[in-house]
Amino acid sequence: MHLEKRVLVTGGAGFLGSHLCERLIAEGAHVICVDNFFTGEHRNLDAIRTHPRFELIRHDVCFPLYIECDEIYNLACPASPIHYQHDPVQTTKTSVSGAINMLGLAKRVKAKVFQASTSEVYGDPQIHPQPESYWGNVNPIGIRSCYDEGKRCAETLFFDYHRQHRLRIKVARIFNTYGPRMHPNDGRVVSSFVVQALSGKDITIFGDGTQTRSFCYVDDLIEGFVRLMESPDDIVGPMNLGNPHEFTIAALAEAVVELTNSSSRIIYRPLPQDDPRQRQPVITLAQETLGWQPAIQLRAGLEKTIAYFEKLLSAGNPRERAVPKSHHEVLAQTRGRA
């Protein structure tokens, strides 16, 4: 007999997923982490791997999963542009088939199910800052579309399962989040700038650096996840979770250079296609319904992130590939060990 709440976390070996698994273990839950290790890392689970209330299953969410659980956090999906653009068809399948499989599982076992959606559903927004009521400005056929449209379709599925099958859903729209355990070569701006600064390489600003993002520290975000999951059943979202403090990419580069005491030069490279000009969440809904708002300022969060990457790089670890594994390699491993 299970006395603890059994919580499934898909994508649990990734950046956000591993922090979430740790938090849930600390709260006394039995955590089942499902991951195909496309971008996830075993070392992210070092603190909990041997915990008696932790289970790890190597599995691809594009395939059905039959287990028993009370809650599901569906995080499985590569999140950085170079990762999700590496195999765009698989990215869409992960969002869409993954959502169908997790919703089907939730329906069978009557679990509550949380979807890690994204600010990318707003595309290159024409309304600023972005409230949840904004429908977005998304290119359906560009190089970011596999991610943006996959996540939009997943939201559609969540709301149809909610209306049609009365499933208890929680949809969070996550804005740029950073912190320890980001993949060092994932090309995301915070990890890239910190790794470049620490290794004395040029810091690459794409475009002129006037585009903006709003950066949330990982601990703040995980607090928002847990509060949303624990909120009453009539709170379903979509709900923006992110830090409303907006920074230009140039200001971020300067802060990283200063905090790392780096001698790196800042250089400019062409802006990637469909790169959003600006992004800033309206978080009134989360503030009013969850009593949640971020507490960690960018400089404090950057200091913790820099300390993590300093340790990782000084350990000579890891000899990372920018794109860790091909999908076929991941699939072969997943099937081989299933």
Other CB atoms within a 10 A radius of the CB of residue 137 amount to 12
Binding pattern for the stretch 73-92 against ligand NAD, x by CB under 6 A and - elsewhere: --xxxxx---x---------
Q: Which residues contact 308 (CB under 8 A, 6 or more apart)?
A: 179, 180, 181
Which among 28, 143, 152, 24 is positioned nearest to 96, based on CA atoms?
Answer: 152
Which among 205, 193, 202, 292 is positioned nearest to 244, based on CA atoms?
Answer: 292
The size of the chain, in residues, is 338
- The single-letter DSSP state of residue 208 is T
Site for ligand NAD in 169-208 (CB under 6 A): 174, 176-177
3-class SS at 113? strand
Specify whether the CB–CB gap between 30 and 53 falls below 8 A. yes
176 in contact with ligand UDP (CB under 6 A): yes
Of all residues in the chain, what percent are helix, strand and coil, respectively (each to 5)? 40, 15, 40
State the catalytic residues: 147
Nearer to ligand UDP, 103 or 218 (CB): 218
205 in contact with ligand UDP (CB under 6 A): yes
Site for ligand UDP in 129-158 (CB under 6 A): none
Structure tokens at 140: 């359906």
Site for ligand UDP in 230-269 (CB under 6 A): 249
Site for ligand UDP in 7-66 (CB under 6 A): none
Binding partner at 174 among ligand UDP, ligand NAD, none, C-beta below 5 to 8 Å by kind: ligand NAD
Nearer to ligand NAD, 111 or 262 (CB): 111
Binding pattern for the stretch 35-64 against ligand NAD, x by CB under 6 A and - elsewhere: xxxxxx-------------------xxx--
Q: Which residue is nearest to ligand NAD (CB)?
A: 14
The residue within the footprint of ligand UDP, chosen from 94, 211, 240, 280 (CB under 6 A), is 211
Cα→Cα distances 298→167, 179, 251, 282, 322, Å: 37, 10, 11, 18, 25
Binding partner at 318 among ligand UDP, ligand NAD, none, C-beta below 5 to 8 Å by kind: none
189 in contact with ligand UDP (CB under 6 A): yes
Indicate if the alpha-carbon torsion angle 253, 257, 258, 263 is positive or negative: negative
Site for ligand NAD in 17-36 (CB under 6 A): 17, 35-36
168, 173, 174, 176 alpha-carbon torsion, rounded to 10°: 170
The residue within the footprint of ligand UDP, chosen from 206, 219, 248, 331 (CB under 6 A), is 206
3-class SS at 74? strand
Specify whether the CB–CB gap between 113 and 13 falls below 8 A. no
192 in contact with ligand UDP (CB under 6 A): yes
Site for ligand UDP in 273-302 (CB under 6 A): 275
Binding partner at 36 among ligand UDP, ligand NAD, none, C-beta below 5 to 8 Å by kind: ligand NAD
Chain residues binding ligand UDP by CB under 6 A are 80-81, 176, 187-189, 192, 204-206, 211, 213, 249, 271-272, 275
Footprint of ligand NAD (CB under 6 A): 10-11, 13-17, 35-40, 60-62, 75-79, 83, 94, 98, 116, 118, 174, 176-177
